[in-house]
């Protein structure tokens, strides 16, 4: 009995540490959830209280009066969906090329691709802005969407997943007379659904939360996405934190739903992405 209790001590310590970390990570979201239904006085109350005295839904109505929330939601959904679909398609095509099509300089080109992951995206925004203004893409959805159609991490994940597919599947398809595109669409894509789901979740979250690039490329308020619209709640001297939390809750719900519906594919893809390098 003493020996078994001694062996269980490390597991108990690990579980305690994990519970503490879980509470630290989850608590801000819980605070935001209840804060969205508080008045501004209750949010600033000292000592702070977690639960509101009564659930106040006027915060959401007040946000709708401050700015066109439905317009910002539509812009965010449109940009996120189109950007996610384009990124998944382009990353899958690039991953297939790097994984299964042999050409001179393939490995060097792939290494250069991975190097771009170390470069902060902020460094390229001035150049991108000048290029997009030159093509008259300012204050247009295409100008917001295009930078989000490329992701080196997505290409890496899909390339690693596609490399685990047996070459015999592709060879059988070619013997039957299928082209590269048909093989890609009919054989490769159905077999890498978990990796596609992972890239889709990452792309959607990145596009949905994007703030700096839409702020740079758009000056028309009708083109604002939800993060840009919510930034208008924050004043120069004071901020209505109850409205800010209500807006953040609205922005958080779509990401939560996307992750809930695709989490099993996400976990499966991460577990299998490093099987073969």
Q: Give the start-to-end residue ranges of the domains of the chain.
A: 62-272
Residues 140, 31: Cα–Cα separation, whole Å: 36
Q: How far apart are CA 35 and CA 52, in angstroms?
A: 7
* Residue 91 banded pLDDT, cuts 50, 70, 90: very high
Look at the block and give the residue holding tokens 């879980």: 22
- Calculate the CA dihedral of residues 21, 22, 25, 27 and round it to 10 degrees: -120
What band does 276 get if pLDDT is binned at 50, 70 and 90? very low
In the chain, what percentage of residues exceed pLDDT 70? 91
Q: Are 95 and 163 in contact (CB under 8 A)?
A: no
Instruction: Examine the pLDDT at 83 and tell me if it is beyond 90.
Output: yes
Read off the pLDDT of residues 119-148 as tens digits, 9 standing for 90 and up.
888 888 888 999 999 999 999 999 999 998
DSSP 243-268: HHHHHHHHHHHHHHHHHHHHHHHHHH
pTM of the model: 0.81
**pLDDT band at residue 275, thresholds of 50, 70 and 90?**
very low
Is there a contact between 225 and 72 (Cβ–Cβ < 8 Å)?
A: yes
Mean pLDDT of 105-110: 90
Average pLDDT over residues 33-53: 82
Please say whether the beta carbons of 144 and 79 come within 8 A.
Answer: yes
**Partner residues linked to 171 by β-bridges:** none
- Residue range 136-179, pLDDT digits in tens: 999 999 999 999 888 899 999 899 889 888 888 888 888 888 88
More confident residue, 78 or 52: 78
Residues near 19 by Cβ (< 8 Å), separated by ≥ 6? none
The whole-chain average pLDDT of the chain stands at: 84
CATH architecture, domain defined by 62-272: Orthogonal Bundle (1.10)
């Amino acid at each position: 009995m003493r020996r078994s209790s001694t062996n269980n001590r490390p597991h108990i310590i690990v579980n305690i540490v994990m519970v503490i970390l879980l509470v630290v990570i989850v608590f801000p979201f819980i605070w935001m959830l209840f804060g969205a239904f508080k008045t501004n006085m209750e949010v600033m109350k000292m000592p702070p209280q977690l639960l509101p005295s009564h659930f106040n839904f006027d915060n959401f109505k007040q946000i709708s009066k401050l700015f066109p929330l439905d317009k910002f939601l539509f812009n965010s959904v449109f940009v996120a969906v189109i950007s996610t679909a384009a990124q998944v398609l382009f990353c899958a095509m690039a991953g297939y090329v790097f994984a299964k099509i042999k050409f001179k300089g393939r490995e060097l080109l792939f290494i250069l691709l991975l190097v771009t992951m170390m470069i902060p995206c902020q460094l390229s925004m001035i150049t991108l802005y000048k290029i997009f203004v030159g093509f008259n893409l300012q204050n247009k959805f295409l100008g917001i969407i295009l930078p989000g159609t490329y992701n080196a991490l997505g290409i890496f994940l899909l390339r690693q997943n596609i490399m685990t597919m047996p070459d015999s599947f592709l060879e059988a398809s070619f013997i039957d007379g299928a082209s590269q595109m048909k093989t890609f669409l009919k054989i490769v894509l159905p077999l890498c659904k978990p990796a596609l789901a992972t890239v889709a979740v990452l792309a959607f979250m990145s596009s949905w939360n994007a703030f700096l690039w839409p702020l740079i490329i758009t000056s028309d308020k009708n083109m604002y996405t939800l993060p840009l619209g919510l930034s208008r709640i924050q004043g120069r001297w004071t901020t209505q934190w109850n409205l800010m939390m209500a807006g953040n809750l609205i922005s958080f719900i779509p990401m939560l739903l996307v992750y809930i519906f695709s989490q099993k594919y996400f976990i499966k893809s991460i577990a299998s992405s490093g099987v073969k390098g």
